[in-house]
Amino acid sequence: MSAVTETPDRTADSHHGRPAGPSAAGNPVRALRRWWPAAALLALLVAPFSALPLPGLLDGPVGSPGSLQLLATCLLFGALATGYDLLLGRTGLLSFGHALYFAAGSYATNLFLLQAGLPFAVSALLGLCSGTVLALVLGSVSLRVTGIGFSMVTLAFAQAGSILVSRDPGGLTGGEEGRAAPAELLPSWLVGIDHTANLYWVALGYLVLTLAVVHWAVRSPTGRVWEGIKENERRVEVLGLKPYGFKLTAFVLAGALAALGGLVHLLLTGGSTPQTTTSDFTLSLLVMVVLGGSGTRWGPMVGGILYTWADHRLGDLAGSGAVADLPAVLRVPLSQPLFLLGVLFIAVVHLLPGGLARLPARLAAARRGSAATPSPAPARKENG
């Protein structure tokens, strides 16, 4: 029995006053909306070969190692936010423990490399499986409750994982210092500043894979049930479906994507850090999703990229001499990157409800509204 059926709308263009057919296909605006992802992907693929300077956005040319490292980090968190939105925006599950599976992928892979001496490919596969199994186990427990209870249970698991890592049991996690990945056990083409472009392409591949998996999952019959659960879980139960299994599927899939992101993060940073186990890390993902637009196709990715870029660039701004020379009333708040990020987040939430992904639609609606507003009639002169 299908929970939700979907009928293609062949007259969508006519609903907006545009005829469907070849004339719509020739619309340059519609063509731009259709092909911009391919153009953006092509630009990202060739970025390591570019010497184009972007003052204010990057410290050096696009293809320089420092710029590629920052871009790779932005792509990584854009993908991570997209995977997290499977829970928040697609199924309506507010989890405060998503960082746990990201950290599990990183730490488990590192431990298999360091302690067992396994090859990187085997360690990476086992690390991915470890994060996925952890999501399955903890998700099966957390989803026994709903609403705020679910959020609190995931937060409790995340706090337990963070404490476990910081306590450094048996010297396995490195405590507050973390564990550096053994360079001699990593693929040589992923180690060293000379191979920053390869790491960048790995991060880009992770982003493309995450977008593809999320898009496929959302458009599948299971994805339609997720949408029904988000709107009204009781109605899904009335249809004869059990929401628990569908929610667990979303939880495990999001956890697996996060664990894969932990592997990429391990390669980018050269080690596992305890900061990735904290609930603050998950809160950052929540901010990224809300900033970009929860429940949209591209919003979480845009929010993750923008937030990560702003986090790095605002940190540089806070420590710059320009801020140090300001009066204390301005220097103190501007020297705190989190303050600047908070102001940015509040501004977007108030000025752009629904996130940055809704901005094009709002601009289009504003243009249509201004075009529909009749201009005042000219005043007639009276003959005196």
Span 40-78, pLDDT tens digits: 899 999 999 988 888 878 888 999 999 999 999 999 999
367: confidence class by pLDDT, cuts 50, 70, 90? confident
Residue 164 is encoded by which pair of tokens? 């476990």
| Whether 298 contacts 82, CB under 8 Å | no
pLDDT(382) > 60: no
pLDDT(12) > 60: no
Residue 363 is encoded by which pair of tokens? 């601009």
324: confidence class by pLDDT, cuts 50, 70, 90? low
Residue 117 is encoded by which pair of tokens? 């001496």
Query: Residue 159 pairs with which residues in a beta bridge?
Result: none
Residue 141 is encoded by which pair of tokens? 């427990």
Residue 158 is encoded by which pair of tokens? 């995340």
Q: Which percentage of the chain shows pLDDT scores above 70?
A: 82
pTM: 0.84
266: confidence class by pLDDT, cuts 50, 70, 90? very high
pLDDT(8) > 60: no
| Whether 295 contacts 85, CB under 8 Å | yes
pLDDT of amino acid 280: 83
Catalogue the E-assigned strands of the chain: 179-180, 271-272
384: confidence class by pLDDT, cuts 50, 70, 90? very low
pLDDT of amino acid 362: 77
pLDDT(34) > 90: no
Residue 168 backbone class (left: φ over 0; alpha: ψ -120 to 50; beta: rest): left
With tokens 């005042």, the residue in question is: 376
pLDDT of amino acid 155: 93
**DSSP type of residue 374:** P
What are the distances in angstroms from CA 271 to CA 102, 113, 194?
A: 13, 11, 18
Q: Which pLDDT tens digit goes with each residue over 159-168?
A: 999 999 999 8
3-state class of 271 per DSSP? strand
- Give the up-direction half-sphere exposure of residue 266: CA atoms within 13 A in the CB hemisphere: 33
Tell me the residue type at 55.
P
pLDDT(140) > 70: yes
pLDDT(16) > 60: no
Query: Quick one: average pLDDT of 286-301?
Result: 91
Residue 149 is encoded by which pair of tokens? 């209870």
pLDDT(29) > 70: no
pLDDT(114) > 60: yes
Query: Quick one: average pLDDT of 376-381?
Result: 56
Sign of the CA dihedral running 268, 284, 82, 10:
negative
pLDDT(292) > 70: yes
Catalogue the E-assigned strands of 179-335: 179-180, 271-272
pLDDT of amino acid 21: 46
Segment holding 236, helix H or strand E: helix 233-238
pLDDT of amino acid 102: 96
Burial (CB count within 10 angstroms: exposed 0-12, middle 13-18, buried 19+), residue 38: exposed
pLDDT of amino acid 77: 96
Residue 213 is encoded by which pair of tokens? 């998996």
Query: Quick one: average pLDDT of 241-258?
Result: 95
- Range with the poorest average pLDDT among 63-72, 163-172, 258-267, 318-327: 318-327
375: confidence class by pLDDT, cuts 50, 70, 90? low
| Whether 70 contacts 77, CB under 8 Å | no
With tokens 């040589």, the residue in question is: 188
Cα separation, 145 vs 254, whole angstroms: 19
What are the distances in angstroms from CA 324 to CA 56, 334, 342?
A: 18, 9, 20
